[in-house]
Amino acid sequence: MIELPAHFGINFTPTYHTHAEGPTDPANIKLPNPFVVLITGAGKGLGWHITLAYAQAGASGLIISSRTKSDLDDLTAKIQSINPSCKVLARICDTTKNEDLVQLVKDVRQEFGRLDVAIANAGIISKYIDDASAPGGQRLPSGILEDDDFERVIDINLIGSYRVAKHFVPLLIETKDGPQSYVVITSLASHMPNSGLTTTAYNTSKIAVNRIAEHMDGDHRERDGVHAYAVHPGAVLTPQTQGHTGETWAQGNMQNLSFS
């Protein structure tokens, strides 16, 4: 295992899991009926698998959003093969656009009239930059000066997650037979003090969504019955993390890490 500070939360358990089992296996979960879940950024990676886990656990309704229709079509077919009774609402939605989320809320109200869980999963990492000396000829930007993708990452990862909360928490509050939950996907990178493994923009966005979840839980749990969670899913291979694989890449970036 990588030796990281204890507060990073990577080495605090004696057992490491590489697949769902026991209470973490959706096949062992039986959700109440009705149970409706929204997942943004559902077309690929974590969002895709989060969606299928809820389908397997028996969700009665799934709202899946993405910016790519073909991804949503493929995911809809997969959901229906797992859980034919699940009602699926698939919508193109860009979480950087308030108007897209306003319309999505209207559609969810019309189709389901309730929402049990809203998962702000849509996220990106800064674009790779060309570097002939790096494995594969590309690397992530290092430091604030190289991270020219900063604003886009913050807008999608942080402001986009805020927009999901802003527009969907009212529907969570209205759904009284709860508790209802807002979930934002965070990362170990939220504890990174430099850009040795992930970029400045990504690290900043993830520590900020941690605090949003803390605020939301403190402000809405007792008053409105809405719980909030920042979930770190672990080291997961997705289309966005393909470039992070391989011993050469890891060694080259680990040497750039420093902790005080």
The pairing of strands 36-39 and 226-231 is unpaired
Residues 126, 148: Cα–Cα separation, whole Å: 8
| Encoded tokens for 44 | 């690929």
206 tagged catalytic: yes
Q: What is the DSSP letter of 5?
A: -
Q: What is the dihedral of CA 164, 169, 175, 177, to 10 degrees?
A: 100
Tell the residue number behind the tokens 């656990």, with chain if given: 57
182 tagged catalytic: no
| Encoded tokens for 192 | 């990174």
Helix (H, G, I), strand (E, B) or coil at 62: strand
Q: What is the dihedral of CA 126, 131, 134, 138, to 10 degrees?
A: 40
Residues 9, 52: Cα–Cα separation, whole Å: 26
Task: Give the DSSP letter string of 88-122.
Answer: EEEEE--TT-HHHHHHHHHHHHHHTS--SEEEE--
Active-site pick, 69, 162, 206, 229: 206
- At residue 38, what are phi and psi to the nearest 5 degrees? -105, 135
Active-site pick, 69, 166, 202, 229: 202
Contact 173, 165 (CB under 8 A): no
Contact 250, 242 (CB under 8 A): no
- Catalytic positions are 202, 206
